Amino acid sequence: MDNCDHHQTKDNSNTRRLLWAFGVIVVFMVVEIIGGILSGSLALLADATHMLTDGLALALAASAQLLAARPADNKLQFGYRRTQVLSAFVNGIFMAVLLAWIVYEAIRRSLNPIEIDAPLMLGVAIIGLGANVAAFFILHRPGERDLNMRGALLHVIGDLMGSVAAIIAAIVIWTTGWMQIDPLLSLLVACLIGVSAFRLVRESGFILLEGAPSDIDTTELADGLKNASPLICSVHHVQISQITPDQPRLTLHACVDNAADAAAALAAAKEYLDQKYDIHHSTIQVEVGGQCPDQCQQAESMSSAPSAQHVASDHTVSTAQTGPAFAAQKP
């Protein structure tokens, strides 16, 4: 199975998981809204609000998965896969707004406590916990790197923690009559979820800003390329970005001593990047004689013609030397 087929299969699986979780969340959201209104519990209403936003978040995530599966075209030549990252960013912002509302309501309820029907609150919270646990196991996969799926899972974890808080609050109120526990636990859950929401927004925003993967050291990568192919004498202009966390893209310049070694050096570099770093899409400019056309162009006037033209793609390598530039096809 090639890389495209692998991504297509994974996208279909993720979409099914999101739709199943969406169905579970929507059904039990209605139960918690009714229970929260009848019992007067903020913890239940907060958890039901989480479920409402989760339904929207899961629908957004599923839509992003479907859109990401569309092939690239002339306008979006890298495809639509970054919609997953954009969806994760929006979900993180959405969660932050929701948490701000919960904090506001918790403070208001702390100043003006209301009577709560603890037995009803407990029963509904237990049902909600069961729904959230089911949604969690539908979505959770160890080592998940898809930010869109992680954003959807974060909403479900928020609901799960909210259900646990509602159960604890109901037991405390039923046994002691202390109403303040309801808004206090809501505040605690909001703080815990807020940390994860901040991390999700930070990571997805970093990718949208073309940030490099945190697990790839460019100096180590350059040294590894020279060791993998003795034909490469130096590596510079290494730039790495991410379409999604599991789809890094790289461009770099590699120098060789002899033009005849260009194709072999390119093949060795591509193989090393694929096996060592799982970088399947790279653009490598091979230069001969230690002279970089880009640096020459920067040194010249903007109006002057470049001393050497180069073309670099996933299948083509350009070489530069003191004479005219020429291209060598990758074997």
Model confidence pLDDT, tens digit, residues 314-323: 444 444 443 3
Which pLDDT score, from 0 to 100, does residue 43 have? 62
Task: Report if residue 294 sits inside a domain.
Answer: yes
**Element counts in the chain: helices (H) and strands (E):** 9, 5
Q: Which two tokens stand for residue 79?
A: 């495809």
* CA atoms of 29 and 43, how far apart (whole Å): 13
Specify whether 201 is located in the same domain as 308: no
- pLDDT value for 238: 92
Q: Which of 208, 241, 259 is the last residue of a domain?
A: 208
Last residue of a domain, one of 208, 228, 245: 208
Q: Provide the token pair at 256.
A: 């060789």
266 C-beta neighbours (distance < 10 Å), count = 28
User: Per the domain annotation, does 231 fall within a domain?
Assistant: yes
10-residue mean pLDDT profile of the chain (331 residues): values are 49 76 79 75 66 74 77 80 83 84 84 81 83 83 68 78 85 89 84 80 89 88 89 91 85 91 91 90 86 62 45 42 37 39
Q: Are residues 233 and 157 in the same domain?
A: no
pLDDT at res. 252: 93
Kind plus residue range of the DSSP H or E element containing 280? none
Q: Which of 165, 188, 208 is the last residue of a domain?
A: 208
Calculate the CA 215 to chain-centre distance.
Answer: 15
pLDDT at 324: 36
Residue 55 sits in the same domain as residue 16:
yes
- Answer yes or no: do 171 and 244 share one domain: no
Place of tokens 């309501």: 105
What is the CATH number for 282?
3.30.70.1350
Number of neighbours of residue 57 by Cβ within 10 angstroms: 29
pLDDT value of position 316: 41
Long-range pairs for 82-86: beta carbons < 8 A, 24 or more residues apart:
82/207, 82/208, 82/243, 82/244, 83/148, 84/146, 84/147, 84/148, 84/244, 85/147, 85/148, 85/204, 85/207, 85/208, 85/244, 86/204, 86/208
The reply to whether 213 falls in a domain is no
Alpha helices by DSSP H, 112-212: 118-139, 147-176, 181-208
Question: Six-digit token pair at 30?
Answer: 């209605």
Q: The domain containing residue 320 runs over which residues?
A: 218-329
Do 139 and 199 form a contact (C-beta atoms < 8 A)? no
Cβ-count burial 93-111 (b if 16+ within 10 Å, e if not): ebbeebbeebbebbeebbe
Do 236 and 198 share a structural domain? no
Helix (H) or strand (E) holding 144: none
Number of structural domains (the chain) is 2
Position 45 in a domain = yes
Measured in Å, how far apart are the chain's first and last C-alpha atoms?
A: 22
Residues 70 and 182 occupy one common structural domain: yes
Name the token pair of 230: 């003795």
Same domain, 185 and 232: no
Residues 188 and 282 in one domain: no
323/120 Cα distance (integer angstroms): 84
Report the CATH number at residue 63: 1.20.1510.10
Q: Are residues 72 and 147 in the same domain?
A: yes
* 258 shares a domain with 117: no
> Tell me, what amino acid is at 30?
V
Verify that 180 and 56 share a domain, yes or no.
yes
Same domain, 37 and 129: yes
